[in-house]
Structure 1
Amino acid sequence: MRPADLKPLIPALMLAGALAWLAQSAWTLREAHAERAVARALASNRDVEPPHGASGELLFARAHFLLVRDRIDEAQALSGRIVERGGPSVAARFFYDLGNARSRRAVGAVESSQIDKAIPEVRLAKEAYRSALRADPELWDARYNLDVAMRLVRDFPELEAGEQETKAQPKKLWTDLPGRPRGLP
């Protein structure tokens, strides 16, 4: 075909391109509207599942909703998608919130004298704060809360498996949880 033969097709091709662009724009607007509706529902304390292709911010909003209500396992299931879609700042905020939820649960266990239940929660909180700091090293709140959690339960290096484990271990005389810190560091 010669270029002169293509001239009558140009308006039809331009129209098809404009329609494709319009359809794509309408689809994007519809997705944005659906995300705003889910965000409004979460803000008004209604439990709404985000759409499958939700942004990292919306997934974080859902995780925050769950963490505030002590539904940690459900929120933690969203962590992979939050990290993947949200970027480092959203991931840092998620892990910070996760650490806070774990810390609240640990303090509640300490207040009800369930020390054995509190120790793993504090350790999981410390890991969450460390993940937040890996995502955003400048997140001062995570650094401070990690310091408080470090004072709650000490980290000891694990012994290598060997002869030392075969000997009789003495009974543990005190817990790893010395008590809740009071005052500033």
Structure 2
Amino acid sequence: MKTRTIHWIFAVLALACIAALGQALLAQRTAAAFNQTLADPQPSDGVSPAAMLSRGVRLAAAGDVSAAQHAFQLALQQGDAASRRMARYNLGNLHLRQALAMRRGDVEAVPLVELAKQYYRQVLAEEPLHPDARYNLERALWLQPESVTWRSVKDKAEARERRVTASRIEPGELP
């Protein structure tokens, strides 16, 4: 092989490495800008639904329920199907946590549990195998059972057994 050919091969390889480095730097800059958007505590125009979901989760953990609900509603309006599903799931969690924080049997907790059940059912309508939404819907149904017309004595006995079994379950944290 001639020296000139070897020099050209190294030059092409060097250019390929420089192009790969440039692409990696651009991806890193984009990721840093997205992370900054997620960390920004103040909403602004043009914020992505993922940033609104992240902000809503952070606000809910801090105890700011109304701001978290607003962030989830924005993500619900602006997002794609997956973002809307996550916003519904998080809204259900928000309402269920509010209901669990109230005293058991409190009349004000009933609408919150019903809203949580509605959001979980919407998530399950889109993704029937969503395990966390299934579990949380079941917990909401334990808190606020729905009225059922019994078709037979056997159905009533099975429901009574389920109710007794469910009452033995220790309250746990939502997923």
TM-score range normalised by the length of the shorter chain: 0.5 to 0.7
Q: Deviations over 1:41-87 (max 9, x none)?
A: 5xxxxxx1233101111111111112223333222223443134332
In the aligned structure 2, how far is the partner of 1:140 from the partner of 1:62? 23
Match of 1:8 in 2: none
CA distance in 2: counterparts of 1:63 and 1:135, whole angstroms: 21
Matched, 1:36 2:29: no
Aligned residue pair count: 127
Gaps of 5+ in 1: 1-25, 42-47, 158-179
Counterpart Cα distance in 1 of 2:58 and 2:72: 14
* TM-score between the two structures when normalised by the length of structure 2: 0.59
| Residue 121 (structure 1) aligned to one of 102, 112, 117 | 112
Aligned equivalents of 2:126, 2:66: Cα separation in 1: 21
**Which structure shows the higher helix fraction?**
2
Shift of 1:31: 8.4
Q: Distance in 2 between matches of 1:182 and 1:103?
A: 20
SS in 1 for 2:121: helix
Q: Which runs of 5+ in 2 are unaligned?
A: 1-25, 149-165, 171-175
**Distance (Å, rounded) in 2 between the aligned partners of 1:109 and 1:80:** 23
Label 1:72 to 1:136 Cα distance change in 2 as closer, same or farther (>3 A): farther
Tell me the distance in 2 between the aligned counterparts of 1:98 and 1:147.
Answer: 16
Instruction: Please report the RMSD computed on the Cα atoms of aligned residues, expressed in angstroms.
Output: 3.0
> Paired residue for 1:183, among 164, 169, 173?
169
Q: Could you tell me whether the CA contact under 8 Å between 1:96 and 1:142 is conserved in 2?
A: yes
In the alignment, structure 1 residue 68 sits paired with structure 2 residue 67: no
TM-score w.r.t. the length of structure 1 is 0.56
- Tell me, in whole angstroms, the C-alpha distance in 2 between the residues paired with 1:51 and 1:30: 20
Match of 2:7 in 1: none
Question: What amino acid is aligned across from residue 122 of structure 1 in structure 2?
Answer: V
Give me the whole-angstrom Cα distance separating, in 2, the residues matched to 1:127 and 1:70.
Answer: 22
2:78 match: 85
Q: Quick one: distance in 2 between partners of 1:138 and 1:87?
A: 19
1:109 aligned residue: 102
